[in-house]
Amino acid sequence: MRTWSLLLRKELLESVRNYRWIWIPLVFLVLGIMNPVTNYYMPQILEASGIAAEVAEQIPMPTPTETIAKSLSQYGTLGLLVLVISFMGVVAGERQTGAAIMVLVKPVSHTSYIIAKWTAMTAVTLVAFGLAHLGTWYYTGVLFDWVPFAAIWQSFLLYALWLILILTLTILLSSLLTSAGAAAFSTLAIAALISLLSQLLGNAMTWSPGRLTGEASQILLTGHGSDHLWLSIGVTVALIVALLACAVAASKRMWTRA
């Protein structure tokens, strides 16, 4: 436990030195508040672009819950891209520079090494996403109307679980592949495939982790999730644990080859 704690402090300090604690939350915050602000000033934007005021007034204004749900989609595209690029070299990069050898040559277990990195990645992500989601809720409340905080909290937990799953996949692929770029591309491709299959197959994949993003939006729009929500949550948690175990095994295998 002491070894893991020391490694975690090292990872958190490295995130400070790399300014991840600053620029990742800032990017997420901009993504979060951009949608409610843009929706509020949309009539003026349309008029400034040359569209007649009568036409601009006919465009329906989204409800507060629709505004926040729309903001969530930003995290699944640009937000996910930022996270994956930020952490794509978390293991592969250290292996290339030799930093991993300096750590693992000491009496440090691969489990502590991987879990410490995963915990630091999760901490940065939760802070960034939490601030952004709160920012969206605040600006939506000020500009439109307030959405119950219970719905905000539940949607945050569901979407955060999806982001943590993708982070876990990132650290696994970074452990398996020698190229950080290949790890990032593979992670984004798999995440897109999971989301696409969840949408196309619908009822055939009620257990899919890719449904968590839709469930988060549904809670905002309707106040409750689907009947299969807990199944998706259970499968996602099980996958996170399994991917972490595979990442530890992959780290050991690459170390043995080295």
Between residues 231 and 253, the one the model is more confident about? 231
DSSP per-residue codes, the chain: -HHHHHHHHHHHHHHHHTTHHHHHHHHHHHHHHHHHHHHHTHHHHHHHTT--HHHHHHSPPPPHHHHHHHHHHHIIIIIHHHHHHHHTTTTHHHHHHTHHHHHHTSS--HHHHHHHHHHHHHHHHHHHHHHHHHHHHHHHHHHT-PPPHHHHHHHHHHHHHHHHHHHHHHHHHHHH-S-HHHHHHHHHHHHHHHHHHHHHHGGGGTT-GGGHHHHHHHHHHHSS--TTHHHHHHHHHHHHHHHHHHHHHHHHHHHHH-
Reply yes or no on whether the pLDDT at 257 is more than 70: no
Reply yes or no on whether the pLDDT at 185 is more than 80: yes
Q: Considering the chain, what is the average pLDDT of its residues? A: 87
pLDDT tens, position by position, 96-133: 776 666 666 667 788 888 999 999 999 999 999 999 99
pLDDT tens, position by position, 187-207: 999 999 998 888 887 777 888
pLDDT tens, position by position, 37-86: 888 887 777 666 665 555 556 667 788 999 999 888 888 888 899 999 99
| Whole-prediction pTM | 0.92
Reply yes or no on whether the pLDDT at 23 is more than 60: yes
